[in-house]
Amino acid sequence: MRLMMNRRLILILTVLAAISTATAQNTAYQQDPGWKPPADAASKPNPLHDRPDAVAGGQKLYRRHCAECHGPAGEGLKKAADFRLPAVQQQTDGTLFWKIKNGNPDRGMPSFSRLPELQRWQIVLYLRQLASEDKKSQ
């Protein structure tokens, strides 16, 4: 009897956690039209583009610095961007790098200019992987 009650409780908690995660996603994310990098920053290529081994480091950095607002899978908690959306994934690596570096204080995005440049590029690599992981799970 007690085992059955524990299983029901676990099931209920799992369902509630899934519902709260789904409702916390920011799938209605709209880009700030005024938050655009200069052309030279947007066209900057990721120097780690051909280094898939650097993604693991990007994941660790993401978890430490980004997941609190953007969610563990990039789903965009609170008012933060859902990194899996085409509106984000269609941006250039240079644009994402510039946004990480400069932030957008008007929308609550802090600057991460204190992170070394290569670490910011690692985060960009990881952001690209989030979209492919999302497609695999669908």
Return the exposure string of 126-135: e unless at least 16 CB atoms fall within 10 Å of the residue's CB, then b: bbbbbbeebe
Q: Is residue 15 part of a domain?
A: no
- Per-residue pLDDT tens digits of the chain, which is 138 residues long: 666 656 765 656 554 444 444 444 555 667 788 899 999 999 999 999 999 999 999 999 999 999 999 999 999 997 899 999 999 999 999 999 999 999 999 899 999 999 999 999 999 999 999 987 655 555
Of 43, 37, 26, which Cα lies nearest the Cα of 87? 26
For 72, the domain range is 26-137
For residue 74, give the DSSP letter: S
Residue 70: per-residue pLDDT:
95
Number of separate domains in the chain:
1
Q: Is residue 5 part of a domain?
A: no
Residue 26: per-residue pLDDT:
56
The first and second tokens of residue 10, run together, are 């676990």
Residue 22: per-residue pLDDT:
43
- Whole-model pTM: value is 0.77
Q: Which helix (H) or strand (E) holds 113?
A: none
Q: Is residue 1 part of a domain?
A: no
The single residue listed with the structure tokens 């969610």 is 71
Q: Is 41 within 8 Å of 95 (Cβ atoms)?
A: yes
Of 137, 3, 120, which Cα lies nearest the Cα of 54? 120
CA terminus-to-terminus distance, the chain: 37
How far apart, in whole angstroms, are the C-alpha atoms of residue 87 and residue 68?
21
Q: Is residue 81 part of a domain?
A: yes
**CATH code, 130:** 1.10.760.10
